[in-house]
Amino acid sequence: MTKIWRETGFVENDPWVIETDEVKATEEQKPLLGLDELIAKADESNDVGLGVLIKPADDVRRLEPYLDRLEIVAVAFPAFNDGRAFSHASLLRQRLGYTNELRAVGDVLIDQVPLMLRVGIDSFAVTNATALKRLSENRLPAIPHHYQPAVRDADAGKGYSWRRQAKPAA
């Protein structure tokens, strides 16, 4: 069972679906398109509110002309140790200036969620049982002292320009 989590809590009725041969989006759902598909659709239509799934080998910079047409970008972690999506997320937020929903999909585990949050990912498709449990308890294994700036806004860390301190929870 996969649930969608954001820092505000689990999300009900999430419309986004990754289509496969077996699974297609229903009337109420919306497909997360592959990068080439998304570009084709955006070029051929006036559709807005689209969703795209960025795979690790994709060049996320190709999204630049289409950002205002996107409601969600999902970045894939097919294996939790495939760290390319951390760079995709960083580039999307910092280089391309993307501001809408950025979702981690794939092998999302609790120990990586704090790092994902720091690179600007703000929603998570979670299947792992331990991760679901910890998220429902809001127990993230995070370290609030950071030794480097990242996407997520943080306070200046004491001592040196590269340090940051996580902002206190709202």
Partner 1 sequence: MYRYDEFDHAFVSERVEQFRDQVQRRLSGELAEDAFKPLRLMNGVYLQLHAYMLRIAIPYGTLSARQLRMLAHIARTYDRGYGHFTTRQNLQFNWPKLSDIPDALADLASVEMHALQTSGNCIRNVTADHFAGAAADEIADPRPYAEILRQWSSVHPEFSFLPRKFKIAVTGAERDRAAIQVHDIGLHVKKNDKGEIGFAVYVGGGQGRTPMIAKLIRDFLPEEDLLSYTTAIVRVYNLHGRRDNKYKARIKILVHETGTEELTRQVEAEFAALKDSELKLPEKDVQAIAAYFAPPALPERAEGWENLARWKKADAGFARWVQQNVQPHKNPDYGMVTISLKPIGGIPGDASDAQMDAIADLAEEYGFDEIRVSHEQNLILPHVALADLEAVYRGLVAINLAEANAGLITDIIACPGLDYCALANARSIPLAQEISRRFGNAERQAEIGELKIKISGCINACGHHHVGHIGLLGVEKKGAELYQITLGGSGDEHTSIGEIIGRGFEPDRVTDAIETIVDTYLGLRLDHSENFLAAYRRVGPQPFKTALYGSAAEAA
| Residue closer to partner 1 (CB basis): 57 or 170 | 57
Minimum separation from the CB atom of position 104 to partner 1 (A): 12
Q: How far is 154 from 163, CA to CA, in rounded Å? A: 9
- The answer to whether the CB of 56 falls within 8 A of the CB of 34 is no
Minimum separation from the CB atom of position 149 to partner 1 (A): 5
Cβ partners under 8 Å of residue 165, min gap 6: 144, 145, 146, 154, 155, 156, 157, 158
| Residue closer to partner 1 (CB basis): 160 or 170 | 160
Q: Is 87 in a helix, a strand, or coil?
A: helix
| Residue closer to partner 1 (CB basis): 39 or 96 | 96
- The answer to whether the CB of 1 falls within 8 A of the CB of 57 is no
| Residue closer to partner 1 (CB basis): 5 or 16 | 5
Q: What sign does the CA torsion over 167, 122, 135, 58 have?
A: negative
| Residue closer to partner 1 (CB basis): 13 or 81 | 81
Minimum separation from the CB atom of position 50 to partner 1 (A): 24
Contact residues for partner 1 (CB under 8 A)? 56, 80-84, 86-87, 90, 95, 109, 111-112, 114-116, 118-119, 130, 141, 143-150, 157-163
Minimum separation from the CB atom of position 3 to partner 1 (A): 18
| Amino acid identity at 62 | R
Minimum separation from the CB atom of position 11 to partner 1 (A): 23
